[in-house]
Amino acid sequence: MKIHEEKSNKKLYIHIGLVLVLCIFHLGRFGVRPLTEKSWFYNLFVEITGPVSSAMSSAKSNVTDFRQNYFNLVDVKKENSLLSSEVAELKKKVFELSSLKQENSRLKNLLNFTKEIERKKVLARIISWDSTNRYQKLRINKGINQGVTKNSVVINAEGLIGKVINTSANYSDISTILDFQNKVDVMFELTRSHGVLEGISDELTSIKYVKNSDDIQVNEIILTSGLGNIFPKGIKVGAITSVISDEHDLTKEVFGKPFVDFSKIEEVVVLLNENDFE
């Protein structure tokens, strides 16, 4: 019984194979005919091969779509890379323009601030600080070739910075008012009392030799007195932060904070010595 079934299945497979061969032979001989033509060979062939053709067409379409999407992604990646470079370059230009605008504003303030000082002036840029003495010494990019000499006074729009102590052809070293070796004769705006200012820390100064009888008050403005023939009279230096006095002493201790923020200065004005132009 089992042998009989196997023989029947083999005959069925042979018949199906013959039908397919005949279909192919028929189409190869007579060509593909229009769908309107009533050929049972053609109709049978279409029904059998249709799913296969559809699957092959779908696979081809998917491959085409994959290739197209791949190349599109590559193009998008390249475009994003170019755009990122352009954005970075634009950010750099914006930063440079912003920095230039800020620098121009600072220079304008410097020039306006020094209009009333009747001395020849040179604009300079700070290029370095003395690493061993924070804010006590600095170097600028102007020197003898630009008219800068020893004891030339250095200021900015906030007030007094210091004086030149060494010069070369195109560079100069400055001793700031925070340098304890740099003594500045000063006076107080309201009382007109005098004292000698020297630096004691990165942001604090001490004013010595102030008479105990002088009525010095906190927040009073400290100015250059003009004595000593170095610093012109009336340049703002800072404000009094504290006053310590003892009725048994002839002088009192006065402390002040400079108006100049030495941690942020970038450009300065050098007041050239009058004697150099006589």
Within-domain flag for 110: no
Please give, one letter per residue, the 3-state secondary structure of 188-208.
ECCCCCEEEEEECCCCCEEEE
Cα separation, 207 vs 193, in Å, equals 11
Residue 191 above 60 pLDDT?
yes
- The predicted structure's pLDDT at residue 277: 42
> Which of 12, 32, 62 is at the close of a domain?
62
Mean pLDDT of 187-207: 93
- The predicted structure's pLDDT at residue 140: 96
Range of the domain at 6: 2-62
Within-domain flag for 50: yes
Q: Give residue for tokens 């009058």.
A: 274
| DSSP SS3 for 164 | strand
Do 137 and 229 belong to one domain? yes
Do 222 and 148 belong to one domain? yes
Q: Note whether 260 and 158 are within 8 A (CB).
A: yes
The string of pLDDT tens digits covering residues 39-79 is 565 565 556 655 655 555 555 566 566 666 666 676 777 77
- The predicted structure's pLDDT at residue 278: 42
Residue 30 above 70 pLDDT?
no
Do 31 and 130 belong to one domain? no
Residue 240 above 60 pLDDT?
yes
Do 270 and 145 belong to one domain? yes
Within-domain flag for 26: yes
What are φ and ψ of residue 67, in 5° steps?
-60, -45
In the chain, % of residues over pLDDT 90? 42
> Which of 47, 62, 77 is at the close of a domain?
62
Do 127 and 257 belong to one domain? yes
- The predicted structure's pLDDT at residue 45: 57
Do 138 and 264 belong to one domain? yes
Residue 243 above 80 pLDDT?
yes
Residues in Cβ contact with 153 at an 8 Å cutoff, skipping those fewer than 6 apart: 160, 162, 163, 164, 230, 231, 232, 235, 270, 271
Within-domain flag for 108: no
Residue 264 above 70 pLDDT?
yes
Mean pLDDT of 134-153: 93
Within-domain flag for 150: yes
Q: Which tops the pLDDT comparison, 146 or 104?
A: 146
Please give the mean pLDDT across all residues of the chain: 77
Do 224 and 137 belong to one domain? yes
* CB-neighbour burial class of residue 75 (10 A; exposed 0-12, middle 13-18, buried 19+): exposed
Mean pLDDT of 10-33: 54
Do 138 and 273 belong to one domain? yes
**pTM, to two decimals:** 0.61
Q: Copy the structure tokens of residue 129.
A: 């600080």
Instruction: Count the domains in the chain.
Output: 2
Do 263 and 130 belong to one domain? yes
DSSP H or E stretch at residue 156: strand 153-156
Do 182 and 250 belong to one domain? yes
Do 220 and 141 belong to one domain? yes
